[in-house]
Structure 1
Amino acid sequence: MTHAQRGYTLLEMLVVILLISIAAGLLGFGLQHGLRAAKERQVVGQMVEALRNTRARAIVSSAMQKTVFDLHRLSFQAPGRPQQHWPADMRVTLHTAEQAGAAVEFYPDGSSTGGHLLLANGTRRWRIDIGWLTGSVQSRALP
């Protein structure tokens, strides 16, 4: 009568450890990708909020206000707010009236210089539109 061997072989244990390592690596990569995408969405939201806040401030103060973008320092600033930065791997392009420079100006009647911002990081892209007549600020993800 032979006794059945109990336990696992060393090879079986190594295969299980290898599978767990691969799964952990894929999970870590997925989390990192998700966190990066969330950070990018947060930056888009912060830009929209800064522009909307600047418009509201212009209306309330009855004076022209502007959100300034520094494309070299990767930052933007709304009046009365701290300077905010976007990730170095995110490309930001600003299209607005030439006289405004690298800024979007809002006027006491709610209008603005208008224009749009294009934000891109790899295959992910967003567009923030600023209406010149109404000063409305809208963002959307691009395909």
Structure 2
Amino acid sequence: MNIRFRDSGFTLFEMLAVIVLLAIAATIVVRSMGMSLSGSKTELIANQLQQSLRRAQLASLASGKVTMVRFDMNRRIFSAGHAKFVRWPESVSLHLTSAKQLGSAIAFYPDGTSSGGHVQVIGAHRSYRLNIDWLTSAVRMVQ
């Protein structure tokens, strides 16, 4: 009975193939995580803006006074009423459409109406549009 033993192990070619496959998989994972992080910044700013708009709407109804949400596009900030301002990152851009006489602002009135308009929050991989109804002052976000 003659038993032959083969050297066990992997060849250099097999090892290189495994390393290349792992590098490709790592690249895919890192890229998808990067897209997810930039998309989450965009979503975070859109959610913060939606909350600020809704707070301004409620503040106007509760106080009986006009409440403004102001945007400073050069400094990349917005604020609702007397609340602390929110800064958005350079990777996110905002485009505001509002009443011309208000400039870069949206007004909420005590009778439940608003100046209306919309704000687009645009990131590298996601974008959101916040619609502010002039008649009901409802704030709706669509992706």
- 1:135 corresponds to: 137
* Candidates 38, 41, 58, aligned match of 1:56: 58
CA apart distance, 1:47: 0.8
**More divergent stretch after superposition (107-116 vs 87-96):** 87-96
TM-score calculated relative to the size of structure 2? 0.89
CA distance in 2, matches of 1:22, 1:81: 47
Please say if 1:108 is aligned against 2:110. Answer: yes
1:72-83 matches, cutoff 5 A: 72-83=74-85
Would you say the 8 A contact 2:39–2:124 is kept in 1? no
CA apart distance, 1:123: 5.8
CA apart distance, 1:80: 3.6
CA apart distance, 1:93: 1.3
The structure number with the bigger radius of gyration is 2
Would you say the 8 A contact 2:38–2:123 is kept in 1? no
CA apart distance, 1:140: 0.5
The percentage of counterpart residues that share the same residue type is 33
Bigger RCO (CA 8 Å, 6+ sep)? 2
Stretches (4+) displaced over 4 A: none
User: Which runs of 5 or more residues in structure 2 are unaligned?
Assistant: none
- 2:73 corresponds to: 71
CA apart distance, 1:109: 1.3
CA distance in 2, matches of 1:22, 1:42: 30
User: Which runs of 5 or more residues in structure 1 are unaligned?
Assistant: none
